[in-house]
Amino acid sequence: MCWSPALLTGWVLLLVQLQHLQAVPIGIDKTKVKEAEKKPDEPPDTGLHYDRYLREVIDFLEKDQHFREKLHNTDMEDIKQGKLAQELDFVSHHVRTKLDELKRQEVNRLRTLLKAKHDLEGGNDIAVDHQALLKQFEHLNHMNPHTFEVEDLDRLIKSATSDLENFDKERHEEFKRYEMMKEHDRQEHLKTLDEEQRKKEEDHYEEMKKKHADHPKVNHPGSQNQLKEVWEEADGLDPEDFDPKTFFNLHDTNGDGFFDEQELEALFTKELEKIYDPTNEEDDMVEMEEERLRMREHVMNEVINFILKVFSSFLCSYWLRPSFFPNKGRCPSILRPL
């Protein structure tokens, strides 16, 4: 499925309204809202092979008051550059001891997985890809498997940052490989059939494609209609009482004041359920997850483009002020609205 660009979706409207609305409208069933807010939510999986280790390290570091304050007051770029890792020397002995234990568990987990993989591949008869093995250990210093040091935190931060930035690209590439292999297997299967069977198989394949395409209308991802549908069907609230502030609080599952990638993708579940049903032969759940990723990327790109348009318009209007620069009523091309 391909989504055509939209100038200004309800998603952007939601972002703008959030800056101004502070209260929950009286008409909303507050009992339902409170129940939704109290519902325990597990943090979404990052998809990294060391996801659990990453979570546990962060959880224990945040239990240290000094480190927690530094974490909340440190710029993201400084964190990426490893400046936060230096603060590990100041955390409590209890936290350091627990981090040592977590690292030993992670090293043992990786060693066990690598040994199992080596045994499955036939032992010593297959050449070992040492670079691939080392890649598994990039998020920690495997030369010291006993204690968690500044270098371990620095490696963990940099690895997670790099891996998450490339995660979407890798997911797209993995899906392409999956589609190619699926089609390859289908074609190979057709070769084993006689002409009559092949005709039946091809007809069935086309029938499944038509059935998959026959589904209820799907809302534009991030549009106000889509968000209101989530509000009504997933949250169980009156569509006439739709409130961006309340909607945001309900779906900001980790309570950090932002919509991250996983929280955005969760909003598209209702739309995807219109297209994909795990009980239907014609619906591919791997394809559904790829579509979820595309929806999220589409919404994020629209928001970014909107911000760029507003910002460039502001700069251009500022440039045109006579008190700023005698520009003869012309705006530099680089500042003209996109």
Helix axes 150-191, 195-213, angle to 10 degrees: 130
Tokens of residue 75, six digits: 């710029």
Tokens of residue 179, six digits: 């589609």
Q: Is the Cβ–Cβ distance between 102 and 108 less than 8 Å? A: no
Q: Is the Cβ–Cβ distance between 303 and 15 less than 8 Å? A: yes
SS3 label, residue 326: coil
Whole-structure pTM value: 0.53
Please report, for residues 73, 165, 227, 265, the alpha-carbon distance to residue 160 in angstroms, rounded to integers and kept in the order given. 20, 8, 31, 20
The per-residue pLDDT for range 72-86, each reduced to its tens digit, is: 787 777 777 778 888
Domain ranges of the chain: 42-165
Tokens of residue 313, six digits: 């318009």
* Cα 286 from Cα 308, distance rounded (Å): 33
Beta-carbon contacts of 34 under 8 Å, excluding residues fewer than 6 positions away, are none
Tokens of residue 315, six digits: 């700069």
Burial class from Cβ neighbours inside 10 Å (0-12, 13-18, 19+) for residue 151 reads middle
Q: Could you tell me how many residues make up the chain?
A: 338
The per-residue pLDDT for range 287-316, each reduced to its tens digit, is: 999 999 899 888 877 776 665 565 555 555
Q: Which of 45, 13, 75 is nearest to 260 (CA)?
A: 45
Q: Is the Cβ–Cβ distance between 88 and 153 less than 8 Å? A: yes
Burial class from Cβ neighbours inside 10 Å (0-12, 13-18, 19+) for residue 201 reads middle
Digitized pLDDT (tens) for each residue of the chain, 338 residues in all? 433 333 333 333 343 343 333 334 434 454 544 444 444 445 556 678 888 999 899 888 988 888 888 877 877 777 777 788 888 889 999 999 999 999 999 999 988 888 877 777 665 555 555 566 667 788 899 889 999 999 999 999 888 888 877 777 888 888 999 999 999 999 999 999 999 999 999 999 999 999 999 999 999 988 888 989 999 998 999 988 988 888 888 988 888 777 777 888 888 998 999 999 999 999 999 999 999 989 988 887 777 666 556 555 555 555 455 544 444 455 544 444 44
* Cα 338 from Cα 334, distance rounded (Å): 9
